[in-house]
Amino acid sequence: MKGAVLVVGGAGYIGSHMVRQLQQAGYAVTVFDNLTSGHRDAVGSASLVVGDLRHPADLAALFAPPRRFALVLHFAALSLVGESVVEPYRYYHNNVAGTLNLLAAMQAAGVGRLVFSSTSAVYGNPQRLPLDEEHPLLPINPYGRSKRMVEEILADAAAAYGLRSIALRYFNAAGADPAGGLGERHSPETHLIPLILQRAARLCAGETAAPPLQVFGADFPTPDGTCIRDYIHVNDLCRAHLLAAERLLAGACTGAEVYNLGNGAGYSVLEVIAACRRVTGRDIPFTVVARRPGDPPELVAAAEKARSVLGWSPAMPALDAIVATVWAWMEAGRGAQEGRGKGKSI
């Protein structure tokens, strides 16, 4: 068995995939989650402590001996761009104040290594593409600003206290792990690929009255007018976290490092719909509506730094293959509900 690690937000979409990979790699995993958007059954066999980053007493109990963590991976955050525009206080409270509480509790417990979930939303409207880590950080929504603030705090903490941290700036996490019984399960769902596939599933079930998918804006300065994003499979993201954790544990990270995680290929909303049509064989209807506040036109990663320093390379870069994992997971869930499948629907 390798060391004991803490996964904050380990009941959520990316966190639960991470827990599985850490366990497969031999780590003893404890999850801390407030279960507002995460799911108890997604934690699997890891030990679960239910608590909230906004409550220092919950964190003091979490870090109390005999627990001793070699490293913390921090996934817990509110992460919806549109919601952050209308509820900024809630975003700063959860994402910034909550993380400060976590850092203070880590310091009190003598835990000095952190892998932090950051985002491509820290860049704002691209001044050049693809986006490398040196691109100016000019976020255009409170979600991106909350993550930039934490990155700044981590740099200050490296200088003042010697905290070693790796912030991973994700582009668009997507995909599922049907073999592990894991997928994306937000309520309400707001993400593009699951929303499209939910409609395809309803068409498969014979429901023709479902409202069409809404495409948020077709007047962006992109070839087809819809937003371009770089979709990356959740297991590829998690493999990069594992490499980051190993770098921290080996003592190779000497400050606050940042890495982009993306495939380096951008797909427009219409191209994602086309991929979902290919995978499902369904003609998914959509309608173009107004832009969603806070959406930059194009976000595509340059992830050479993660490749060269962390030794990371994505195993599933093709969009159709990523979509197919989500569709397989949804089909397995439907099968389980109908008493056909073996797996549970998460």
Cα 48 off chain centre by = 20
Q: Which of 143, 170, 231, 259 is catalytic?
A: 143
CB 189, min distance to ligand UDP, A: 9
Residue 215 interacting with ligand UDP (CB under 6 A): yes
191, 202, 277, 282: which one binds ligand UDP (CB under 6 A): 191
Residue 94 interacting with ligand UDP (CB under 6 A): no
Judged by CB under 6 A, the chain residues 104 through 143 that form the site for ligand UDP are: none
How far is it, in rounded angstroms, from Cα 143 to Cα 128? 21
User: CA of 160: how far to CAs of 99, 156, 228, 246, 254, in Å?
Assistant: 17, 6, 39, 23, 13
Three-class secondary structure of residue 176 per DSSP: coil
Residue 210 interacting with ligand UDP (CB under 6 A): no
Judged by CB under 6 A, the chain residues 278 through 317 that form the site for ligand UDP are: 292, 295
Cβ neighbour number for residue 13 with a 10 Å cutoff: 26
How far is it, in rounded angstroms, from Cα 305 to Cα 298? 20
Tokens for 155, please give them. 């740099």
How far is it, in rounded angstroms, from Cα 108 to Cα 11? 25
Residue 190 interacting with ligand UDP (CB under 6 A): yes
How far is it, in rounded angstroms, from Cα 329 to Cα 52? 29
Contact (Cβ atoms closer than 8 angstroms) between residue 54 and residue 98: yes
Three-class secondary structure of residue 249 per DSSP: helix
How far is it, in rounded angstroms, from Cα 224 to Cα 60? 51
Q: Which lies closer to ligand UDP via its Cβ, residue 201 or residue 253?
A: 201
Tokens for 181, please give them. 């019984």
Residue 195 interacting with ligand UDP (CB under 6 A): yes
170 carries an active-site annotation: no
Stretch that binds ligand UDP, among 48-56, 129-137, 184-192, 249-257 (CB under 6 A): 184-192
Residue 269 interacting with ligand UDP (CB under 6 A): yes
Tokens for 201, please give them. 């599933």
34, 99, 172, 260: which one binds ligand UDP (CB under 6 A): 172
Judged by CB under 6 A, the chain residues 216 through 245 that form the site for ligand UDP are: 216, 227, 229
Q: Which lies closer to ligand UDP via its Cβ, residue 196 or residue 248?
A: 196
Q: Which residues contact 23 (CB under 8 A, 6 or more apart)?
A: 29, 44, 45, 46
Q: Which lies closer to ligand UDP via its Cβ, residue 23 or residue 198?
A: 198
Q: Which lies closer to ligand UDP via its Cβ, residue 112 or residue 194?
A: 194
CB 230, min distance to ligand UDP, A: 10
Q: Which lies closer to ligand UDP via its Cβ, residue 133 or residue 295?
A: 295
Residue count at the site for ligand UDP (CB under 6 A)? 15
Contact (Cβ atoms closer than 8 angstroms) between residue 89 and residue 29: no
Q: Which residues are catalytic?
A: 143
Binding positions for ligand UDP, rule: CB under 6 A? 81, 172, 190-192, 195, 213-216, 227, 229, 269, 292, 295
